[in-house]
Amino acid sequence: MEVTALTIEAARNAVQERKTTAIAMAEAHYSRIQKEDGQIGAFLTLSRERALQQAERMDRIVADGKPLPPLGGVPVGIKDVLSTRGVRTTAGSKILDKYVPPYDCTAVAKLETAGAVILGKMNCDEFAMGSSNENSGFHPVRNPRDLSRVPGGSSGGSAAAVAAGMAVATLGSDTGGSIRQPASFCGVVGLMPTYGRVSRYGLIAFASSLDHIGPLTRTVKDAAIVLGAIAGRDPMDSTSAEVPVPDYVSQLDKPVSGLKLGVAKEYFGDGLDDEVRQAVERAIDTLKSLGCEVVPVSLPHTSYAIPAYYLIATAEASSNLARYDGVRYSLRARGVKTLSEMYRRSRDEGFGTEVKRRIMLGTYALSAGYYDAYYLKAQKVRTLLTRDFDEAFQKVDAIVTPTCPTAAFRLGEKSNDPLSMYLADIYTVTADLAGIPGISIPCGQTREKLPIGLQILGKHFDEATILRIAHAYEQATGRSQLAEV
């Protein structure tokens, strides 16, 4: 039994049935990390002591003859924007290089309560700002499918670790596509829940009205298991919703026949790679063969999504990142003589180029004389985008699109062209702006054997339906990362 190639359910059952131990499973994953991660760069910090303590607790439960919790003994990774008590949390930035939180992110705490064994912290674009994981303050992440290419961003380390068999599942964050885009590039499943479904308490904020926490996994069922573990109202996060959390796993096998799937022409226009288009169209045909009805819909304000997103997100980033000033817990420049010099040099030395670019964009958009023209107008466009989805969902149960316009691009290919890099998220930012859930699942590969992702978008708090559709497609085609590890 190759324990680094198991699903969540299979890994838990292997421990429960004493085919292996949680400690042995954790050690097997650390061995794989040692073997593979030198060339991939998915991890920033390993938490071996914490992992083995949790694994020992799981083994004691088995020894006592008790049933394991849903993720009992399952090795997972945590994106480094999620706070972990006693474990270095950098947000991929030099400015937080030595930061060790005194508390756990709610999603992390819930994962451990569900029995998960936390292997370590995953590399990411600095403060989750990026589409390639080349913006990490430490080192880039490489795509396990082709080491010359990016894994996507900003949750590139989280996606790469699952794709390379270094973790059974990981948590990522999605502000403009940062779970779904790397899932597409690495050929894994990436789920972004509805805004408010999962508590953001303990998430190092990029853009507070756009940030979501969600899982990256090998199969749709694994994503359903993780979401069930981390979802729910949290009194520590006023934006988390008081909405019942269904049993996602029990609903996966419900028939999809009769469901109406929207296809928006705005997602199949210029810029969409032909191989991606063909793979997504084949996936839509497969869903039709399962009994789904395909309905044309229009999302007319889609073309405004990128400019609206890069005004709202950067404005919120400018506000959120003002706290990193060298005074409290972030890097402090040495040899300074005045307070203003300390502020200036600490931020200059601690922040990378992309973070500085976004802070400046956001500060400008919020400045006197420009607020109405830029930030306020972008928020009005956001409302129009949300209405587009609301109207479409009156006709359909879900919307299917490509996740990304292309497969994974080469390292360095877009580094000097920020606009081209931003357009890599053109099909994903709309869901973040509207606050709806979305999932990316593998639906094929290019001639160069690079993964292609299918995106399924759903109504607010209706993750169950998009998981059901994704699971039906996965079962019908056998497409999951499990077969590729």
User: Which DSSP symbol is given to 262?
Assistant: E
Q: Is the pLDDT of residue 446 over 90?
A: yes
pLDDT in tens, 299-336: 999 999 999 999 999 999 999 999 999 998 899 999 99
Catalytically annotated residue among 155, 158, 178, 346: 178
- pLDDT tier at 70, thresholds 50, 70, 90: very high
For residue 293, what are the contacts with CB-CB under 8 A and spacing of at least 6? Answer: 258, 259, 260, 261
pLDDT of residue 455: 98
Give the CATH class of 3-256+463-484: alpha beta
Output the average pLDDT for the chain.
96
Q: Are the C-beta atoms of 43 and 85 separated by less than 8 Å?
A: no
Q: Please report, rounded to a whole number, the percentage of residues in the chain having pLDDT higher than 90.
A: 94
Q: State the CB neighbour count (10 A cutoff) for residue 188.
A: 34
Active site residue 154: yes
Q: Is the pLDDT of residue 483 over 70?
A: no
Q: Please report, rounded to a whole number, the percentage of residues in the chain having pLDDT higher than 70.
A: 99
Active site residue 346: no
pLDDT in tens, 263-285: 999 999 989 999 999 999 999 99
Q: Are the C-beta atoms of 453 and 441 separated by less than 8 Å?
A: yes
Catalytically annotated residue among 47, 131, 132, 154: 154
Q: Parallel, antiparallel, or unpaired: how do β-strands 260-264 and 398-402 relate?
A: parallel
Calpha distance 22→14 (Å, rounded):
9
Active site residue 265: no
Calpha distance 372→480 (Å, rounded):
46
Q: Are the C-beta atoms of 93 and 351 separated by less than 8 Å?
A: yes
Q: Is the pLDDT of residue 128 over 90?
A: yes
Q: Which runs of E-coded beta strand occur in 11-103?
A: 43-46, 75-79
Q: State the CB neighbour count (10 A cutoff) for residue 38.
A: 8
pLDDT in tens, 88-107: 999 999 999 999 999 999 99
